Amino acid sequence: MQTEHCQVLIIGAGPGGYVCGIRAGQLGLNTIVLEEAKPGGTCLNVGCIPSKALIHAADEFHKQTAPNTIGIQSSGTTIDFSQTQAWKDGIVTRLTAGVTGLLKKATTKLVHGRAQIEDGKTVLVETAEGPLRITCDYLVLATGSRPMELPQLPFGGNVISSTEALSLSEIPKRLAVVGGGYIGLEIGTAMAKLGAQVTIVEIADRVLPQYDAALTKPVEARLADLGATLYLGARASTVSGNGALTIETPKGPAEIAADKILVATGRAPNLQGFGLEDLGLTTDGPFLRVDDRCATSMRRVYAIGDITGDPMLAHHAMAQGVVVAEHLAGLPTVWDKRAMPGVCFTDPEVVVVGELPSDAMVVSTFPFAANGRAMTMERTDGFVRVVHDKKSEVILGIQAVGAGVSELAGEFALAIEMCATLRDLADTVHAHPTLGESVQETGHLALGHALHI
């Protein structure tokens, strides 16, 4: 059996793992990244990137086929879904190759194979060339997550996860979506725009239940405009013999005819099946407990990404990866992020950064109905909202719902990270006409001298 030693050994080449590997290599650490499948993890291969490609294709198709008021006439528009999938797969292929190239540029070695942890410093890898035993000074766990299966709706047949939903060979005529979170809504909205009859089943009383009703109402209204059916306060029960989904609603049981049933009720951390359980690491519920340097309860073993808990977001994992790499290189780095953006690529999009409103805070809201750029985009549904401390006027949170607001997430996060005040927002000159002007306008509004409302 071949053996090898490195300073840093990272299991998993998803967003957290490959970024940690790149940064560690840049800092001169002898680093190996292990990956069983393609680099990029769930996000790049079967999550963030392919879903956004599908959303873009659906938006373009919908623009050509939906009635409009600006004089564009089209007829007979069709979509070759196999070509759409090939285009999406091409993007994924280019990006996975890019990750491999970036690791190589940083002098970090990428090893393909399935890992089996023997102890906190030793991992056995089954590679195509045979078994390889790697010892390390530091072990970094970045094994990601998987779609969560419901006991009453196991995956198989016409019951699918988001992974299968993003690689369908054809658009289902009838799609039932179990779960009104961001994964279910993103895919459900795209399929509705592509012509599927979509039904969404959510156990809470609104979609995106982690957010307040003001943010979710425009999303629900748009779903209705697209012809989607919402069952709120409803629970999925079983799949009948004819493939229909049986649900329990406040008004009694109902049956939903469906060609495919997408179960999108969350994700579970990948912590079993490769020897990790034998290390006896301390957990918080289903996740690994880490400190402000992402260290686990075992000396010299670190964990990043989805296995460390919410928020289970790619950019969260990337930021953790940088913290670990810099810490191992001796830099005075700790986790002290004030802001972690959350974006739902629904229609309209939703961005949440920082704290949501509460009774102890002051809230100011500027509607896109008063924004010139939103008018020219024919999308005035939504708003920008700032949550701030009454006495100091420090920004505690910024949220938005509207078409294209995902591109404002960086500005929102920067404002909170830099401890911006209302005056900072109001005094920062924004280009006209842009959606970003609404951020400046919200600052003026909160200070009592709104300019355009």
Active site residues: 432
The dihedrals phi and psi of 376, each to the nearest 5 degrees, come to -70, -20
The number of C-alpha atoms within 13 Å of 345 and in the hemisphere containing its C-beta is 17
Dig out the tokens for 343 from the structure: 């974006």
The amino acid present at 351, given as its one-letter code, is V
Give whole-number Cα distances, 401 to 12, 220, 344, 351, 444, in Å.
34, 12, 9, 6, 19
- Listed in sequence order, the residues at least 6 apart from 225 whose beta carbon sits closer than 8 Å to its beta carbon are none
The dihedrals phi and psi of 358, each to the nearest 5 degrees, come to -145, 175
Q: Are 191 and 176 in contact (CB under 8 A)?
A: no
Residue 448 burial (10 A CB sphere; 0-12, 13-18, 19+): exposed
Strand partners, 115: 125
Cα dihedral sign, 287-289-291-296: negative
Give whole-number Cα distances, 262 to 178, 240, 427, in Å.
6, 15, 46
Q: Are 323 and 293 in contact (CB under 8 A)?
A: yes
Measured distance CA(106)–CA(104) in Å, rounded: 5
- What is the β-pairing status of strands 122-127 and 114-119? antiparallel
- The DSSP-derived string for 391-442 is TT-BEEEEEEEETTGGGGHHHHHHHHHTT-BHHHHHHS---SS-TTHHHHHH
Residue 424 burial (10 A CB sphere; 0-12, 13-18, 19+): middle
